[in-house]
Amino acid sequence: MIFLQTDTTTASGYSSLIFLALLVAMFYFLLIRPQRTRAKKQAAMASSLQIGDRVQTFGGVHGIVDSVDDDSVVLRLEDGKMRISRRAIGSKISDED
DSSP-based helix, strand, coil % in the chain, nearest 5: 45, 30, 30
Its pTM surpasses 0.75: no
The pLDDT score that the predictor gives to residue 88 is 93
- In the chain, the domains with their CATH numbers are 9-92 (2.30.30.30)
The pLDDT score that the predictor gives to residue 45 is 92
The pLDDT score that the predictor gives to residue 96 is 63
| pLDDT by 10-residue block (mean), the chain, 97 residues | 59 85 94 94 91 94 94 94 94 78
The pLDDT score that the predictor gives to residue 53 is 94
The pLDDT score that the predictor gives to residue 58 is 93
